[in-house]
Amino acid sequence: MDRHRVVDFTGPWDGQILATSVHAGHDIRADLQQVMILDEADRLREEDPFTDEIAAAVPSRAITHTSRFEVDLNRPRREAVYRAPEDAWGLRIWRDEVLPDDLFRASLQTWDTFYTALAERLDAVAERGPFVLLHVHSYNHRRPGPDQPAEAVADNPEVNLGTGSVDRSRFGGLVDRFARDLADPELGCGPVDVRENVKFEGRQLAWWVHDRYPRIGCVLALEFKKTFMDEWTGVPDRDAIACARTNLAATLPGLAGELAALS
């Protein structure tokens, strides 16, 4: 990765449906690698590999390659760098336990660069009218161990739809249409268990868009359960990834219709 390019924008960016996958990246800059003691497999398990491939259902995307262990682009700036174990699920990340100040500040610069670049793109989108940003993540459901049963389906939907900061008075119909289409057995690869705000409600990127573009921007934070890969080995299920992408693509016509009605 070119370290001067924190984010790449792909696609035409001439429409009102966009996507991100800010935790898909695995890159760590060289100065951080020298002080990092976290095992790479443990790091990968807490990242969201292959979510960029799911998000590719949307032609216009913001692509990032940086690991969340360098800077977490979906946390508020003050929390975006995991300096100590308590910032990252108790994981020991840095050789001396706490990340030095100079490396901390350099990581914050990446956060600033990302949001500055995204603002430039989204400002132009917002000038044309309402837009939807599909914010694609994934989550673990086998935390007890690789040989232990998966966590209960009742608490772990196939897709958690995070809408905690969405203005439902404005976008409620759009949210409901999206959930119906993603779950529709006649669309995509078949039925999907989609539930709203069961495990996650959306964080920084959604908050930022909704604050910056009130009644214009709508972020749907999508957490795909890691049934499309083995969360312990990192091995992907290519067919499952393709289906997740197909299912997401099947929602785009409905989203376009809802946006047109809002306009």
In this structure, the number of other CB atoms found within 10 A of the CB of residue 234 comes to 16
Q: Does any domain span residue 237?
A: yes
Residue 16: predicted pLDDT: 98
- Return all residues near 147 (Cβ < 8 A) that are at least 6 apart: none
SS3 assignment for 218-259 = EEEEEEEECCCECCCCCCECHHHHHHHHHHHHCCHHHHHHHH
Say whether pLDDT at 1 is over 60.
no
Does pLDDT of 3 surpass 70?
A: no
pLDDT at 54: 98
76 lies in some domain: yes
pLDDT > 70 in the chain, percent: 98
CATH number at residue 46: 3.40.630.40
pLDDT at 39: 94
Give per-residue pLDDT as tens, 36-64.
999 999 999 999 999 999 999 999 999 99
- Domain membership flag for residue 138: yes
182: amino acid identity, one letter: L
Domain assignment present for 1: no
pLDDT at residue 113 above 70?
yes
What pLDDT is recorded for position 158?
A: 98
pLDDT 10s digits, 187-206:
999 999 999 999 999 999 99
- Can you give the residue range of the structural domain that contains 42? 7-262
Average predicted confidence (pLDDT) for the chain: 96
Q: Total domain count for the chain? A: 1
Give domain status of residue 14, yes or no.
yes
Tell me the three-class secondary structure of the chain, residue by residue: CCCCCCEEEECCCCCCEEEECCCCCCECCHHHHCCECCCHHHHHHHCCCCHHHHHCCCCCEEEECECCCCCCCCCCHHHCCCCCHHHCCCCCCECCCCCCHHHHHHHHHHHHHHHHHHHHHHHHHHHHCCEEEEEEEEECCCCCCCCCCCCCHHHCCCEEEECCCCCHHHHHHHHHHHHHHHHCCCCCCCCCCEEECCCCCCCHHHHHHHHHCCCCEEEEEEEEECCCECCCCCCECHHHHHHHHHHHHCCHHHHHHHHHHHC
Ramachandran quadrant class, 188 (left: phi over 0; alpha: psi -120 to 50; beta: rest):
left
Q: How many CA atoms lie within 13 A of 130 on its CB side?
A: 17
pLDDT at residue 17, rounded to an integer? 98
Q: Is residue 2 part of a domain?
A: no
Encoded amino acid at 245, one letter: R
Q: Contact at 8 Å (CB) between 263 and 132? A: no
The tokens for 205 are 């990127």
- Residue 132's pLDDT band, with cuts at 50, 70 and 90, is very high
Quote the CA–CA distance of 136 and 138 in Å, as a whole number.
Answer: 7
Does position 228 have pLDDT exceeding 90, yes or no? yes
